Amino acid sequence: MTTTLFNHKSLYRRLSTHRPLHSLQTVDSPEPDKLTTWQSTLTTGSQRVLTSIHASPWLQLITVFVGYIFHLVYLTQRQFIFPIQWWASPGNEWRAYRYFVGIGYDSLAGIFALLFYYQRFRSPTQPPMLVPQKMPWKFPPAPSPTTEAATNLVEAIRNQYSWPHVVHRATFLWTAVCLITAYFATGRFSLFWQDMLYELSAKGFPLTTPQFRAWSVLLGHLSWVGVGSALLFLFPFAPRFFRSAFPRDLTSSNSEQLSKKPWHWFRFQFRKPQNGQSVWVWWVLGGYCVSCWLFNLADWANHFLLPDAVLKLSSESVVSQLVAPEFNDRTASLIGYIAPCLSAPLWEELLYRGFLLPGLWSCLFRHNFSLAALVQAVVFSAHHMSLVAALPLAVLGYVWAVLYGLSGNLWTVCLVHALWNSRVFLTGWLGL
């Protein structure tokens, strides 16, 4: 026992003679300067990666694709099981449907994305990637002219471009009537294409039953898209719907700007983000995650609102036949992929969010965006003529209208729509 005490005392004596005890504690601990340097290096590296992604539209597309695959393959296949099953008791009828057992990772991603966007919008300093844009169709108030030249220019623009409100409303209603008529009239085109396919099959062209169905859907849809696009081009809106009629330089006496009529009310550009524009990659990823979560909620509510006999009809829809055709015909499935996942997202967003939403907002509901978004969502859902998908599609239509209003970029909603429709096909092809 004496030896042990002596050893401890001698050890303490040797340590105390060389250096203080507290110095031993700081020798093995990391230096604060190194830790700060490591954190700053990590922050700088992440900022460089984000800057490079924001500067290139192609890198944004790659980022969207990688995030989409991760969401499809991993998040949709995993769920968080609640540790306490309050509602899933053995005698509860909800246990058979596995309600309130857990929540999917895709729903959690949608919740976190919505909370993140909401927190960013409420913060006084918003990052450039989440700056909400102004309504792309909003007509700004006329500036007060300060010079005689500016006064003359403003009056000339008003006389040439500023239509009365009744003309705006009449133009919108007339275009809407023409589009509705064209939609039902193009059903005749579908019959025409079916007859043509029958003729080709009779002449020996190799055409299976699933391929016949896929070609009929694709050609009929493209006919409706072509006629509808022509109508939107022939019946343009007033300039205040999609661009300002007032040039930026009101003091200029250049009259060339007056000759530029704003008939081209929609255009597609694939360019780098400029100052004051939002980076669309985060709008697409966040909007897609939120759309999946709200769709899951609406689909869950369908089990309480609709009887089982109606829910079984979803397995017999045209889309389900295109995804899983008879005899596992991959060619028919690839042909059927074009209309719902490529042409339909572009055309439907142009029709509902690009035409119907601003028309309702500006002409009928006196700038009430919520009401305009709700009405166009109901019309969007009714257009698909599916009782099972009525509520989920209406929810998606409203969410995409809000996403378009915040981002100010119709391409954002087109990409979200395309990713959503592709999800149905990819889950069937990959067996997810």
Clarify whether residues 195 and 339 are in a common domain.
yes
Residue type at position 124: P
Q: Residue 232 and residue 178: Cα distance in Å, rounded? A: 9
Q: What is the pLDDT at residue 70? A: 94
Q: What is the pLDDT at residue 365? A: 79
Tell whether 64 is covered by a domain.
yes
Clarify whether residues 69 and 214 are in a common domain.
no
Bridge partners (DSSP) of residue 104 are 79
Residues 284, 412: contact at Cβ < 8 Å? Answer: yes
Tell whether 294 is covered by a domain.
no
Tell whether 97 is covered by a domain.
yes
Tell whether 272 is covered by a domain.
no
For tokens 């029958």, the residue is 198
Clarify whether residues 206 and 352 are in a common domain.
yes
Q: What is the pLDDT at residue 208? A: 85
Instruction: Read off the pTM.
Output: 0.74
3-state secondary structure of 103: strand
pLDDT digits (tens, 9 = 90+) for 282-328: 889 999 999 999 999 998 888 888 777 777 766 566 677 677 676 67
Tell whether 178 is covered by a domain.
yes
Q: Residue 210 and residue 115: Cα distance in Å, rounded? A: 44
Residues 53, 59: contact at Cβ < 8 Å? Answer: yes
- Boundary-marking domain end, from 131, 163, 192: 131
Kindly calculate the radius of gyration of the chain based on its CA atoms and give it in whole angstroms: 30
Q: What is the pLDDT at residue 393? A: 93
Number of domains within the chain: 2
Alpha helices by DSSP H, listed for 275-323, are: 280-305, 308-311, 318-323
Number of Cβ atoms within 10 Å of the Cβ of 173: 13
Clarify whether residues 218 and 196 are in a common domain.
yes
3-state helix, strand, coil in the chain (%, to 5): 70, 0, 25
Q: Write the Ramachandran bin of 408: left for phi over 0, alpha for psi from -120 to 50, otherwise beta.
A: left
Q: What is the pLDDT at residue 58? A: 84
Q: Residue 292 and residue 72: Cα distance in Å, rounded? A: 11
Tell whether 291 is covered by a domain.
no
Clarify whether residues 395 and 424 are in a common domain.
yes
pLDDT per 10-residue tile (average), the chain, 432 residues? 46 46 45 57 71 80 93 90 64 53 88 86 56 45 44 47 56 86 87 88 85 88 90 63 35 38 47 58 92 92 80 66 72 87 90 87 78 93 87 94 84 92 85 72
Domain that holds residue 238: 138-261+305-432
- Boundary-marking domain end, from 79, 107, 131: 131
Clarify whether residues 158 and 233 are in a common domain.
yes
Which residues fall within 8 angstroms of residue 322, CB to CB, at 6 or more apart? 213, 214, 217, 332, 333, 336, 337, 340, 425
Q: Which two tokens stand for residue 113?
A: 């994305």
Q: Residue 13 and residue 21: Cα distance in Å, rounded? A: 11
Tell whether 34 is covered by a domain.
no
Clarify whether residues 204 and 327 are in a common domain.
yes
Which residues fall within 8 angstroms of residue 218, CB to CB, at 6 or more apart? 335, 336, 338, 339
- Boundary-marking domain end, from 90, 112, 131: 131
Number of Cβ atoms within 10 Å of the Cβ of 382: 13
Clarify whether residues 240 and 370 are in a common domain.
yes
Clarify whether residues 75 and 119 are in a common domain.
yes
Clarify whether residues 143 and 70 are in a common domain.
no
Clarify whether residues 114 and 220 are in a common domain.
no
Clarify whether residues 312 and 328 are in a common domain.
yes
Tell whether 197 is covered by a domain.
yes
